[in-house]
Structure 1
């Protein structure tokens, strides 16, 4: 069976124009794994409220970070695809979960090249309903409807793979070399607390109180395979261990909450504010839930986060870029692809 690879990231509007942003947000927010409420309630919330107010605001944010050659996320992902393709003999395609670069188009590109066995790589280190799961579910739906003879396997969450931790840690070390900072904040994309409970395959390991104090994250369980918060906490722990960070000089937070339901805490914006008010003058921040810089890293963290820090008296605010097209990150992907390719295909 001829093998091929499909890299999949979140997606982006076609332009920072409010019309394109509205179309993109509509697709994104109507995903039942993003806003996981009954369809009637989701429709009322998204189409009746959010899409009447948020697109203009989001468009302004996209305009701040948009590059001459397009969306940073798309441009970086395309460069990553090209670098990986240069190092493997198998066709490598790129797709996005939302937007015009659809998973169907990505699979079609591979099928047109004769591919029968696809290695789907969600470009997210940690598993979450609203990222990895929605990609895998949609890919399987598309396979059944349009490519029934295609075989699709996927790369599991790689948050704790030693080579990934080394690559992430060395990238942080390199970008902070010579920088004077008092605290390193690991900021991850947030999800509603209920997503953690819904992803608990044991139906009992994660309890409401545990989600807040992380007691369940510290207790070994099969639930950790799909527990986003545990996986985020583990990345912080492993990187801190690799870099020999002293306790109290680093912490974990969660960004990008939406609505009024409780999301994973502590919140990044409030944490930045608290650190500045507590006397931290120089801080650095890294965003390990993302492998490519995007709106959430370039605008929400590098712009809004820095503004918050300065407003409360902070002086130096350093953002560590995502792995983007770092050669060691490319090498990680190539290694995982080669390992998969050596495994005999089964029908």
Structure 2
């Protein structure tokens, strides 16, 4: 029997330092997130970062927390509830970090008689710190707990025409009536070395600002997060007919001490008012679900900084969340797989 496990990032159970600290510990101690030797990672995370970050992050979570709970969890659950009736196989929902574990998700499917699982990371672009860590943990759990279960990984869907169509239509709908000087495509940032580490061909090109580092469709591009991001932007811009001078692409959420993908969202947005760019819209296509990075970092903090520098109008375009067209598309992908 076939089944599907949708997997998103995760969230602390409450917007408090006490709940945020173990969540951050699990997240930052992941070797696919901070990819340094264990002892150094433990020193950085538990000896330095977790001394102040839980309180700071808790404050940020408090700003976006809903009565129902974490927006990312609530929105993921809403999506899950819409997708399940559209398909003929069991669909589970899990998180890479936090209490809604992948093990619980696989166990629930196993209890329903599922022996073949399509693992569906809810990330359009492939990255070591998102897609790969989900796939690796799921395989580790399968070997230990469900040796007879077969797992196949749903591939990155950043360039699938039907996904681009849904994403483009969503952006177009939210832009109605909003006159913008610049549309900012802000993707989650990762260290540059992550891109090179996932290149199985060892033929990765040099990073050139505002250009793809690998040619789309080549073996080197298959697992290149940076190329996936630029290709997503290119396809959306092409479909919506956005002029070159009306959009840009940036990367957000970096940590100090490493070389991360550039240009940086906060730096670019802060500099825009001085260049006469006073009205901007920001879309975050690395996420399909609104979360701390979109709701607090972009919709609140980036907006405040932009206006403090002289910006006038700022529109944060929501993620796809539980949009009917998006849920229907996921249902179609699941049905196509289940019929094979």
Q: State the TM-score, normalizing by the size of structure 1.
A: 0.96
RMSD: 1.1
Question: For residues 95-115 of structure 1, what are the alpha-carbon distances to aligned partners after superposition, in whole Å with 9 as ceiling and x for unaligned?
Answer: 000000000000000001111
Question: For residues 143-186 of structure 1, what are the alpha-carbon distances to aligned partners after superposition, in whole Å with 9 as ceiling and x for unaligned?
Answer: 00000000111110000000000000000000110111111000
Q: How many residues align?
A: 340
Specify every segment of 5 or more residues in structure 2 that has no aligned partner in the other structure, as ranges.
none
Q: Separation in 1 of the partners of 2:112 and 2:320?
A: 29
User: Is this contact kept in 1: 2:195–2:225, CA < 8 A?
Assistant: yes
Task: Give structure 1 regions of 4+ aligned residues with deviation exceeding 6 angstroms.
Answer: none
Give the counterpart of 2:300 among 291, 299, 303. Answer: 303
1:100 to 2:99 alignment = yes
Give the counterpart of 2:272 among 275, 286, 299. Answer: 275
1:292 to 2:289 alignment = yes
User: Is this contact kept in 2: 1:184–1:284, CA < 8 A?
Assistant: yes
Deviation at 1:219, TM superposition (A): 6.7
User: Is this contact kept in 1: 2:164–2:236, CA < 8 A?
Assistant: yes
User: Is this contact kept in 2: 1:12–1:74, CA < 8 A?
Assistant: yes
Partner residue, 1:62: 61
Partner residue, 1:80: 79
Q: Separation in 2 of the partners of 1:86 and 1:206?
A: 44
Q: 1:83 to 1:164 in 2, by over 3 A?
A: same
1:249 to 2:246 alignment = yes
Partner residue, 1:137: 136
Partner residue, 1:27: 26
Partner residue, 2:225: 228
Partner residue, 1:176: 175
Partner residue, 1:7: 6
Q: 1:201 to 1:211 in 2, by over 3 A?
A: farther
Deviation at 1:259, TM superposition (A): 2.2
Q: 1:211 to 1:47 in 2, by over 3 A?
A: farther
Q: Separation in 2 of the partners of 1:324 and 1:283?
A: 22
Deviation at 1:223, TM superposition (A): 1.1
Q: Separation in 2 of the partners of 1:206 and 1:47?
A: 35
Deviation at 1:297, TM superposition (A): 0.3
Q: Separation in 2 of the partners of 1:80 and 1:39?
A: 36
Partner residue, 2:126: 127
Deviation at 1:215, TM superposition (A): 5.6
Question: For residues 108-128 of structure 1, what are the alpha-carbon distances to aligned partners after superposition, in whole Å with 9 as ceiling and x for unaligned?
Answer: 000011111111100000000
Q: State the TM-score, normalizing by the size of structure 2.
A: 0.98
Q: Separation in 1 of the partners of 2:336 and 2:280?
A: 39
Secondary structure of residue in 2 paired with 1:217: coil
Q: Separation in 2 of the partners of 1:329 and 1:213?
A: 28
Secondary structure of residue in 2 paired with 1:126: coil
Deviation at 1:332, TM superposition (A): 1.1
Deviation at 1:274, TM superposition (A): 1.6
User: Is this contact kept in 2: 1:197–1:206, CA < 8 A?
Assistant: no
User: Is this contact kept in 2: 1:196–1:206, CA < 8 A?
Assistant: no
Secondary structure of residue in 1 paired with 2:272: helix
